[in-house]
C-alpha cells in the first residue's frame, strides 16, 4: 500500500502557473527573466507507483547521472524531485553561481567549477514566517511525504521533556530520487558532491524509503562540511525492493543562536552505478558483502580466511541477519565472518585486505565506518591495521576490540591518513574456544576525521 505522491512546485500543476508565481514573486519581471521561472519550475507532477503493475514500469536500471545542466536555460533536476507541499523555507532549488547573489547557493558548481554550471541548493537562513513552538513528540509512522518543519527528535533514551522550555523547531528539506527498483545483489553505488556551509546548516542525511511500507532507514549522515568547498559523498547499498533515495538537509533549531545566520546545502553530480561493474569509479573499498568482497581479498600469509556469510539460523555459524539490510526483518543479507570452530585454534589469524588506496595527505584523513558482530564466550579480537605495500615495516594496528559484545551489530569507525598509498586490513583472531565467530559488514568511507558521534541509532523512522 503506497500513498500516491505528487510533487511539484508551489502547488502548481502547469508550467505557466509555476513560472508566473515564481517570476513575479522572486524578481517581479516575467518578461525579462522567464528563464529563471523555468529553472525553478522544472519539475511538475510525479507519482509513486500505487499498484504492482505501475511498479513494474519502474526502470530496472538506475537513473542516469545528473549534473543539473549548464547555463540558465538548461538548468535541470533530471529525474530528481522535491515534495509538492514543501513550504519555501524547506525547499531545494536549482541554482548556479551567477544567480547566487540573488537566490543564494554556492558561487560555483562542482561539474565545471564555474558560475554557469548548475546545482541544487537549500538556503538555510530563509525564514518566511515565524515558527510556532512545538513540543517534541515521539516519532509516529504517519508516512506523510511532506517536508518542512518537524519537531526535534526525542533526547537520548526517550527521557521526559521539560515542557517549560521551548524546544524550538528545525526545518528540513527533501530532495528525492525517482522510483528505483531492486538493486540486485551487488547493489548500487550512489556518489555525489555536496556543500554544507554556514552556521544555520546542521546536517545532511540520506534516507532509503521503502515504497511498500513507506518506512525510512537512514543510511548516511554528515554534520559538517569542508566549509565552502565541494566534498565527495559516496554510499554503497543493496535493497531488495522498490525504493526511493531521499536527501534530507536539516537546519539548526530556532532555539540555536546560529539559526538566523546564512547557510546552505548544495548537491551536484549525482551518479548511480552498479557495484561490481567494470566501469565503476566510485565507492572504492565500500562493501555490503551482499554479492562478494568488493575488491577486498583474503591474505594468503595467515592461518585461515574470512568467508562470506548469509542469514545464519545458528549463532554457531554467524549472525542471523546482516547489518546492511535495513528495515527488512528477515533472515537475509550478506556479511563477512571468521569461523572459529574446529580446526581453528586459539590465536589463529585471518586477514582481509582492502584494495590499494591513494595517499590521503596529512590534512585530508578519511573515516572508515563499518559494523561488527562479536557474539560467543570464546570471542577473540578484531583489529584494523594499516599496511604500506612494499614496505618492510609491520602493519600498524589502528583500531582494536576484544571480547564478546552480545548478539548485536555495532557501528565502529576509525580515522586514517597516509602519506603514501596504503591498504587497510581486517584481522580476526580466534579466541579461547570455538564460540567466537566475528563478523563485519557495511564498510564505507567518508572524507575527514571520524566525528565522535556514534550514538545515532542505525535504523530510525521520522515522522
Binding site for Ca ion (CB under 5 A): 67-68, 109, 111, 117-118, 268, 288-289, 298-299, 302, 305, 322, 324, 333-334, 441
CB of 225 to Ca ion, least distance (A): 17
Collapse the DSSP code of 211 into the 3-class scheme (helix H, G, I; strand E, B; otherwise coil) and give the result: coil
How many Cβ atoms from other residues are within 10 Å of residue 59's Cβ?
11
Check the CA dihedral 411-416-421-424 and report its sign.
negative
Nearest approach, Cβ of residue 260 and Ca ion (Å): 29
Nearest approach, Cβ of residue 293 and Ca ion (Å)? 12
Tell me the three state secondary structure of residue 45.
coil
Q: For residues 22 and 337, which CB has a smaller minimum distance to Ca ion in the complex?
A: 337
Least distance to Ca ion, CB of residue 300, Å:
6
Q: How far is the CB of 74 from Ca ion (least distance, A)?
A: 11
Q: What's the Cα-to-Cα distance from 173 to each of 269, 279, 382, rounded to whole Å?
A: 19, 33, 39
Strands of 32-149, DSSP E: 93-96, 118-123
Give whichever of 109 and 202 is closer to Ca ion, judged by the CB atom.
109
Strands 172-176 and 349-353 turn out to be unpaired
φ, ψ at 100 (rounded to 5°): -65, -30
CB 69 within 8 A of CB 59: no
In terms of CB distance, is 109 or 171 closer to Ca ion? 109
Place of cell 525547499: 91
Tell me how far apart the terminal alpha carbons of the chain are, to the nearest angstrom: 18
CB nearer to Ca ion: give 77 or 81.
77
Q: Residue 306 CB, nearest distance to Ca ion (Å)?
A: 7
For residue 365, what are the contacts with CB-CB under 8 A and spacing of at least 6?
415, 416, 417, 448, 449
Query: Which of 167, 319 has the CB closer to Ca ion?
Result: 319
CB 41 within 8 A of CB 12: yes
Distance of CA 39 to the CA centre of its chain: 27
Q: How far is the CB of 253 from Ca ion (least distance, A)?
A: 31
Q: Which is nearer to Ca ion, 118 or 285 (CB)?
A: 118
Instruction: Quote the DSSP letter at residue 74.
Output: G
- Nearest to Ca ion of 239, 357 (CB atom): 239
- The CB-of-331 to Ca ion minimum distance in angstroms stands at 13
Looking at the Cβ atoms of 187 and 263, the one nearer to Ca ion is 187
How far, CA to CA in Å, does 406 sit from each of 225, 317, 372, 375, 409? 35, 15, 11, 5, 8
Amino acid at each position: 500500500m503506497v500513498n500516491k505522491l505528487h510533487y511539484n512546485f508551489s502547488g502548481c500543476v502547469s508550467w505557466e502557473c509555476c513560472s508566473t508565481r515564481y517570476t513575479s514573486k522572486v524578481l517581479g519581471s516575467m518578461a525579462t527573466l522567464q528563464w529563471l521561472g523555468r529553472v525553478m519550475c522544472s519539475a511538475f507532477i510525479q507519482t509513486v507507483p500505487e499498484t504492482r503493475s505501475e511498479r513494474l514500469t519502474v526502470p530496472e536500471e538506475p537513473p542516469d547521472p545528473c549534473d543539473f545542466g549548464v547555463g540558465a536555460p538548461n538548468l535541470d533536476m533530471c529525474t530528481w524531485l522535491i515534495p509538492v507541499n514543501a513550504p519555501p523555507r524547506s525547499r531545494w532549488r536549482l541554482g548556479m553561481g551567477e544567480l547566487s547573489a540573488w537566490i543564494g547557493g554556492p558561487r560555483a558548481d562542482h561539474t565545471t567549477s564555474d558560475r554557469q554550471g548548475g546545482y541544487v541548493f537549500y538556503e538555510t537562513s530563509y525564514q518566511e514566517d515565524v515558527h510556532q513552538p512545538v513540543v517534541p513528540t515521539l516519532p509516529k509512522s504517519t508516512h506523510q511525504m511532506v517536508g518542512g518543519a518537524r519537531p526535534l527528535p526525542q533526547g537520548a533514551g526517550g527521557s521526559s521533556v521539560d515542557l517549560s522550555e521551548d524546544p524550538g523547531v528545525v526545518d528540513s528539506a527533501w530532495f528525492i530520487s525517482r522510483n528505483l527498483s531492486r538493486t540486485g545483489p551487488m547493489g548500487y553505488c550512489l556518489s555525489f558532491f555536496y556543500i554544507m556551509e554556514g552556521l544555520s546548516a546542521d546536517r545532511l542525511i540520506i534516507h532509503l524509503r521503502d515504497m511498500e511500507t513507506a518506512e525510512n532507514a537512514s543510511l548516511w549522515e554528515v554534520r559538517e562540511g569542508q566549509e565552502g568547498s565541494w566534498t565527495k559523498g559516496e554510499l554503497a547499498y543493496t535493497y531488495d525492493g522498490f525504493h526511493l533515495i531521499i536527501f534530507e538537509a536539516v537546519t539548526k533549531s530556532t532555539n540555536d543562536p546560529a539559526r538566523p545566520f546564512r547557510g546552505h546545502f548544495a548537491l551536484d553530480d549525482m551518479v548511480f552505478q552498479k557495484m561490481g561493474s567494470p566501469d565503476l569509479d566510485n565507492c572504492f573499498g565500500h562493501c555490503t558483502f551482499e554479492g562478494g568482497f568488493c575488491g577486498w581479498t583474503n591474505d594468503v600469509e595467515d592461518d585461515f580466511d574470512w568467508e562470506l556469510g548469509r542469514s545464519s539460523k545458528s549463532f554457531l555459524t554467524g549472525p542471523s541477519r546482516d547489518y546492511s539490510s535495513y528495515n527488512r526483518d528477515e533472515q537475509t543479507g550478506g556479511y563477512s565472518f571468521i569461523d572459529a570452530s574446529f580446526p581453528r585454534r586459539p590465536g589463529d589469524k585471518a586477514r582481509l585486505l582492502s584494495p590499494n588506496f591513494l595517499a590521503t595527505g596529512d590534512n585530508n584523513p578519511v573515516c572508515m565506518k563499518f559494523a561488527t558482530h562479536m557474539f560467543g564466550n570464546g570471542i577473540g579480537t578484531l583489529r584494523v591495521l594499516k599496511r604500506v605495500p612494499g614496505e618492510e615495516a609491520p602493519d600498524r594496528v589502528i583500531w582494536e576490540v576484544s571480547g564478546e559484545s552480545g548478539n548485536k551489530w555495532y557501528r565502529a569507525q576509525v580515522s586514517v591518513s597516509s602519506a603514501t598509498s596504503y591498504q587497510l586490513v581486517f584481522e580476526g583472531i580466534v579466541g579461547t574456544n570455538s564460540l567466537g565467530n566475528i563478523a563485519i559488514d557495511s564498510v564505507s568511507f567518508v572524507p575527514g576525521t571520524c566525528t565522535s558521534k556514534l550514538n545515532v541509532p542505525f535504523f530510525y523512522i521520522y515522522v
